């Protein structure tokens, strides 16, 4: 039987990762879990994020997946070692693919990283980029208000522009040539971010980077069967569907709300 790729995020933003993977691997079955009951993860402490991530992963492992994709940058930044201890299947987060892409893109070795507070404070992108490019200088900035802006559908609203100008004012002075969009929601703000940063700065979309990275684990061979999509959320399916429609420009079906079963909390 064909096993699916499991993807989890703190909520709906990880659909940017789902979309990139679906476009690259049209024949794979994908199971997406969005922890909409407990979003946002960005401002929470590392221990809480690790707990939630393990519970989400256990749920997906119970569905019999072959690879676990951690779409959430905040979970990827702090929970990958714990998640890798859970199971023998490959566990892939967004940080390494994004860091690799940034290291390949930069010419002047001055790189910006924006993300949630959790991601930026973890320093995970800085460590991953410097592993590949020790001489690179990294500038990081949390941009927490970008998440609700996207969820409200205001990514091109003038308010988004004002907030982006405010958050990115220091970043603009650093002469960076590459900026990592280190949060699931930020690719949806890329027009606004590009406008504020200027055309000379290349934006690295961690969602696209992980889809490309996955090619090392899967072949794109076409077995002629269109992949199946299954979506689960821990709360509010209708809100998820509404935002998903905006992100994917398509209606999603096969969406189920699951409760936080006790079995998720057991080792
Ligand atoms: N999915 C989160 C991330 O990529 C953003 C939303 C949240 O704070 O939970 O970091």
What pTM value is reported for the model? 0.95
d(CA 136, CA 99): 11
Which pLDDT score is estimated for 2? 83
Which pLDDT score is estimated for 69? 98
Catalytic residue among 183, 188, 209, 255: 183
Determine whether the shortest distance from the Cβ of 122 to ligand 1 is under 6 A: no
Q: Whose CA is nearest to atom 1 of ligand 1?
A: 72
Per the annotation, the verdict on 183 as an active-site residue is yes
Determine whether the shortest distance from the Cβ of 16 to ligand 1 is under 6 A: no
pLDDT bucket at 148, cuts 50 / 70 / 90: very high
Which pLDDT score is estimated for 265? 58
What are 58-69's pLDDT values in tens digits? Answer: 999 999 999 999
Q: Ligand 1 atom closest to Cα of 119?
A: 10
Q: What is the best residue among 12, 41, 80 to mutate for testing ligand 1's pocket, by most ligand atoms within 8 Å of CB?
A: 41
Determine whether the shortest distance from the Cβ of 74 to ligand 1 is under 6 A: yes
Q: Ligand 1 atom closest to Cα of 13?
A: 1
Catalytic residue among 50, 68, 72, 133: 72
Which pLDDT score is estimated for 252? 93
Determine whether the shortest distance from the Cβ of 13 to ligand 1 is under 6 A: yes
């Amino acid at each position: 039987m064909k096993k699916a790729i499991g993807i989890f995020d703190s909520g709906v933003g990880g659909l940017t990762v789902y979309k990139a993977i679906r476009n690259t691997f049209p024949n794979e079955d994908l199971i997406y879990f969005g922890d909409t009951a407990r979003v946002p993860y960005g401002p929470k402490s590392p221990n809480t994020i690790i707990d939630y991530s393990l519970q989400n992963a256990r749920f997906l492992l119970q569905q019999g997946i072959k690879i676990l994709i951690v779409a959430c940058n905040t979970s990827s930044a702090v929970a990958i070692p714990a998640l890798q201890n859970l199971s023998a299947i490959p566990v892939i987060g967004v940080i390494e693919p994004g860091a690799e892409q940034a290291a390949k893109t930069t010419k002047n070795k001055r790189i910006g990283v924006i993300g949630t507070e959790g991601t930026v404070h973890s320093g995970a992108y800085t460590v991953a980029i410097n592993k590949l490019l020790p001489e690179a200088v990294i500038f990081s900035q949390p941009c927490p208000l970008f998440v609700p802006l996207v969820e409200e559908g205001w990514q091109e609203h003038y308010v988004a522009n004002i907030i982006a100008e405010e958050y990115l004012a220091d970043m603009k002075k650093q002469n960076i040539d590459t900026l990592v969009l280190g949060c699931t929601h930020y690719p949806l703000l890329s027009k606004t971010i590009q406008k504020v940063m200027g055309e000379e700065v290349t934006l690295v979309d961690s969602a696209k980077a992980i889809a490309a990275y996955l090619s090392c684990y899967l072949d794109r061979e076409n077995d002629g069967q269109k992949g199946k999509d299954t979506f689960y959320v821990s709360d509010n399916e209708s809100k998820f569907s509404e935002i998903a429609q905006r992100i994917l420009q398509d209606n999603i079906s096969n969406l189920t709300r699951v409760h936080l079963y006790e079995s998720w909390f057991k080792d």
